[in-house]
Amino acid sequence: MTVKIQVENLTKIFGRNPKTVLTRLKNGDSKDAIFKETGHTVGLNNVSFEVNTGETFVIMGLSGSGKSTLARCLNLLNTPTEGKIHVDGSNIVEYNKNELREFRQKKVGMVFQHFGLFTHRTVIGNVEYGLEVRGVSTQERSEIAKKTLDTVGLEGWEYRYPRELSGGMRQRVGLARALANDPDILLMDEPFSALDPLIRRDMQLELLDIQAKLKKTIVFITHDVNEAFKLGDRVAVMKDGVIEQIGVPEEILAQPANDYIADFVQDVDKTKILQAKNIMVKPNALVSLKDGLKVAVKEMQTNGISSVFVVDSERKLQGLVTIDDTIAAIKEGKTLKEILIKEYETTSAGTCIQELIPIATYKKYPIAVVDEENKFMGIIMRVSVLAALI
């Protein structure tokens, strides 16, 4: 894993004389107090984080928390008052004019909530714009633009005008325009927030698809926690210009750092975030084929359970036996192998709990979690699935 963007102690203050306010901020004065006493607005307060190459890093927070200010610092549309922003190891805050132009044209693409399309240009004209500015030949930029429009599902719409398109399609154009330059980094500031819920869902899925193919480094901004958790590899939660918590969705969901974040995640549909691995447990008892019937009975009795999973010498799952069958088998002189039950459910560690609900509710045995080689990793009890719903 390599670090693509490294932000260090980034502070942005808006107002006539930002530097004079820094000391107050460092002394712990609040954003409100600073505004009342000096008329300066704290946009970002000592923000530090890293984004890995190929990662989708989501910045989430209520309106006014500093999300856009942060995104605009990342391509220097906002000049930081203090702090460093390393991209691929070089501090972009120190870039001269030429370096900055190069950076904006080639390394980073931006998608906004309100599309920002040129109304007098066709769809393809909009997508070609960045390439045109860079002096790419007419033929080449038309080829690239067409290919990019295909990627975002807009083939056939090249020569229409933005006004002829729906909101969702306009945002696809916005995305295509950013992608046409083939930037390493995509900054997306609430790109789907103005869209209807269903279209928004489509766009989220589309972005996941595109990202799976293109593997850009994405900084995605949203105020919607469900969107944040659906798209983000990791999520940073902001409040009043400060990052309050950074973590993978499961972490933030399971251990919100404070009440503000707890409030945020309250509305999340946990079953779409939590995965089998988050609720599976190591079974108290496990029997190996070579152990035999008596060991199996003992295991079940000592642990007070009525069935137990059976693995082979490589821990690959072979089946499950019940206490009744095992006791009967001893009397009848059968082997453990002969009484193995094969009708149980297995799942992988990465499966969403949502998909497990129907299985867990109707089956009498726990669900077995196995890896790609069918090695036994743990079990999921029905009660754990139900507990995750609360």
Return residues touching ligand ADP (CB under 6 A): 14, 41, 43, 61, 63-69
Buried b (16+ CB within 10 A) or exposed e, 159-186: eebbeebeebbbbbbbbbbbbbbebbbb
Q: Quick one: which of 284, 330, 276 has its CA closest to 309?
A: 284
Q: Measured between alpha carbons, how far is 231 from 105 in angstroms, rounded to an integer?
A: 25
CB of 285 to Mg ion, least distance (A): 53
Residue 139: name its binding partner from Mg ion, ligand ADP, none (Cβ under 5 to 8 Å by kind). none
DSSP string, 55-88: -EEEEEE-TTSSHHHHHHHHTTSS--SEEEEEET
Q: Measured between alpha carbons, how far is 261 from 202 in angstroms, rounded to an integer?
A: 27
> For 340, left (φ over 0), alpha (ψ -120 to 50), or beta?
beta
The verdict on 322 binding Mg ion (CB under 5 A) reads no
Strands 3-14 and 41-52: antiparallel
Tracing tokens 């279209």 back to the chain, one arrives at: 199
Alpha-carbon distance values, 276 to 185, 247, 272, 383 (Å): 32, 19, 11, 13
CB of 342 to Mg ion, least distance (A): 54
Residue 151: name its binding partner from ligand ADP, Mg ion, none (Cβ under 5 to 8 Å by kind). none
Pick the closer one to ligand ADP by CB: 115 or 129.
115
Pick the closer one to ligand ADP by CB: 70 or 203.
70
CB of 238 to ligand ADP, least distance (A): 7
Residue 43: name its binding partner from Mg ion, ligand ADP, none (Cβ under 5 to 8 Å by kind). ligand ADP
CB of 14 to ligand ADP, least distance (A): 3
Pick the closer one to Mg ion by CB: 65 or 211.
65
Pick the closer one to ligand ADP by CB: 66 or 125.
66
Residue 326: name its binding partner from Mg ion, ligand ADP, none (Cβ under 5 to 8 Å by kind). none
Instruction: Provide the mask over 43-72, with x wherever binding to Mg ion is found by CB under 5 A and - wherever it is not.
Output: -------------------------x----
- Closest residue to Mg ion in the complex (CB): 68
Q: Measured between alpha carbons, how far is 296 from 195 in angstroms, rounded to an integer?
A: 57
CB of 35 to Mg ion, least distance (A): 18
- Residue 288, amino acid: S
| Local structure of residue 369 (DSSP, 8 states) | E
CB of 186 to ligand ADP, least distance (A): 17
Residue 11: name its binding partner from Mg ion, ligand ADP, none (Cβ under 5 to 8 Å by kind). none
Site residues (CB under 5 A) for Mg ion? 68
